[in-house]
């Protein structure tokens, strides 16, 4: 069973600055990785799949990279609506479809 | 507009049962795998169960095996989660999620707003 570990747990960033979130898999998941955003009180929203492909309607300031066991989500210039919790998820080996524990991006 | 809407949550005592529903609209329900994902208060996302498009293949997280049953009615565009022998630790918002496919990748592209299940005496 694959475990996903995200870091840091909380990231304090000023609006307009760059945010870099990390996700590590306990074994290789190739590029079978997705990122989701969850704003307070809302359902998760798909941002990235295939480690680097933006989902429909996702702004270009969101980018994903990595393969194997190390992955990164970068938000190039944080907007107010980007302050949220971000989850990575692997879909290489299932079940289960494992999520990371989340990284909260908060206003500095 | 494509959407899935969960219902059926509520307060139940430990050992009790509850049946959740997820009603879909705006897309061909019978073509998609569907999942239940839960989120305990203040915690992260945990995958719970999945059913393929025709109902012939099912998977569960170990913690709910033997207690929860996922099913679907493609004629009524509805996914179900029958939850029996509920425990305090099953308390969570339960989300229904659609799994989509594109260029060898599968991902959860459509989520409902969730329904809250509270297990407490």
Task: Kindly report, residue by residue over B16-64, the tens digit of the pLDDT.
Answer: 999 999 999 999 999 999 999 999 999 999 999 999 999 999 999 999 9
What are the chain B neighbours of A91 within 8 Å (beta carbons)?
Answer: 105-107
CB atoms within 10 A of CB B65: 10
Q: Which of residues 2-21 of B touch A (CB under 8 A)?
A: none
Residue B14 pLDDT exceeds 90: yes
B16 and B86 Cβ atoms separated by less than 8 Å: yes
Residue B101 pLDDT exceeds 90: no
The pair of structure tokens assigned to A15 is 């609006």
- pLDDT computed for residue B102 by the predictor: 84
10-residue mean pLDDT series, chain A (108 residues):
96 96 97 96 95 96 98 96 97 93 95
The pair of structure tokens assigned to A87 is 């989850």
Average pLDDT, chain B: 97
Q: Which of B104, B62, B46 is nearest to A102 (CA)?
A: B46
Whether omega for the bond prior to residue A96 falls within 30 degrees of 0, making it cis, is yes
The pair of structure tokens assigned to B74 is 């493609």
């Amino acid at each position: 069973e694959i475990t996903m570990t995200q870091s840091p747990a909380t990231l304090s960033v000023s609006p307009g600055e760059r945010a870099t979130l990390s996700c590590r898999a306990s074994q290789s998941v190739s590029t079978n990785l997705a990122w989701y955003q969850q704003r307070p009180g809302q359902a998760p929203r798909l941002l990235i799949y295939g480690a680097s492909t933006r989902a429909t309607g996702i702004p270009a300031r969101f980018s994903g990279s990595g393969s194997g066991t190390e992955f990164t989500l970068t938000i190039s210039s944080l907007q107010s609506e980007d302050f949220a919790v971000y989850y990575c998820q692997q879909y290489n080996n299932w079940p289960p479809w494992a999520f990371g524990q989340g990284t909260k991006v908060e206003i500095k | 507009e494509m959407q899935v809407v969960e219902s059926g949550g509520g307060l139940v005592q430990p050992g009790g049962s509850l049946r959740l529903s997820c009603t879909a609209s705006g897309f061909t329900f019978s073509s998609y795998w569907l999942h239940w994902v839960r989120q305990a208060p203040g915690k992260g996302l945990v995958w719970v169960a999945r059913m393929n498009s025709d109902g012939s293949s099912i998977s569960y997280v170990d913690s709910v095996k033997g207690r929860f049953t996922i099913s679907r009615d493609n004629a009524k565009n509805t996914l179900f989660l029958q939850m029996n022998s509920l425990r305090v630790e099953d308390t969570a918002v339960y989300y229904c999620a659609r799994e989509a496919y594109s260029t060898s990748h599968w991902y959860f592209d459509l989520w409902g707003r969730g329904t809250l299940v509270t297990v407490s005496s």
